[in-house]
Amino acid sequence: MLQARQLTKTYGDYPALQRLDLEVKGGEIYCLLGANGAGKTTTINLFMGFTAPTAGEVLVDGRRVVYSNQATNELLAYIPENLNLYGNLTGRENLQYFAGLSKKRLNGTEADELLRSVGLQAAATSQRIRYYSKGMRQKVGIAIARAKGAGNLLLDEPTSGLDPQASNDFARLLEESRQNGVAVLMATHDLFRAKESGTHIGIMRAGRLVHSLASREITLGELEQLYLATMQMDVHV
């Protein structure tokens, strides 16, 4: 479970995040929508312990996240918009290396099976990452997350720049994670993917969570109208 309680982050006089209350349970996919600067990435960074909150707290499976402390990171898997993989290593070697950082040892056969399970073609597992498309890189990221076996998954714009097929493949892998009881928090600009993949949707503006609802409660057209109206709101501190 992922929880934020009155979570606040300021940089000087700039309120990047204001009194956020959020809860994502196992088997849920919570999609955070909002323009650049709305607070989506700040929220992800606070869950990861990359920065310290100004006020409030972040909890992962009931354990408080502490800035720069790696203890709760063992409970999390994180996939950013642009994965920093090693271009001179193969997909298999990257998976083995990053899994090893999580103390998961994979032999070549195990790594290849995991990569194929996320939709990477067999021939690609032995190719160097520098020849991969962005969609292929994201599949390696999902494989790394699966190898870690974490019950919580954080995603920051994971489908940005993906073609429709790759985006659809990514959505399928998200659904498999949800069915396996993983709690997923995804920051995205993609209203369609939020509606289709998310169990819950939040709309942020100026560091505040303005709307939070179950995706089944709204149509895609209604979500678009609500989003556009929210972007025009005057949100006061």
Where residue 190 sits, what CATH number does that domain have?
3.40.50.300
Count of the separate structural domains present in the chain: 1
Mean pLDDT for the stretch of residues 34-48? 93
Q: Does 237 have pLDDT greater than 70?
A: no
132 lies in a domain? Answer: no
Q: 17 falls in which pLDDT band (50, 70, 90)?
A: very high
Mean pLDDT for the stretch of residues 44-68? 92
Q: 211 falls in which pLDDT band (50, 70, 90)?
A: very high
Q: Is the pTM of this model over 0.85?
A: yes
Q: Which domain holds residue 49?
A: 2-82+149-231
State what percent of residues in the chain have pLDDT above 90: 61
Mean pLDDT for the stretch of residues 84-103? 91
60 lies in a domain? Answer: yes
122 lies in a domain? Answer: no
- DSSP labels for 162-228? --HHHHHHHHHHHHHHHHTT-EEEEEES-HHHHHHH-SEEEEEETTEEEEEEEGGGS-HHHHHHHHH
pLDDT at 236 (0 to 100): 55
50 lies in a domain? Answer: yes
Mean pLDDT for the stretch of residues 94-118? 89
183 lies in a domain? Answer: yes
pLDDT digits (tens, 9 = 90+) for 122-178: 999 999 999 998 888 888 988 888 888 889 999 998 887 777 887 888 888 888 889
b/e 137-169 (16+ beta carbons within 10 angstroms → b): bbbbbbbbbbbbebbbbbbbbbbeebeeebbeb
Mean pLDDT for the stretch of residues 14-30? 95
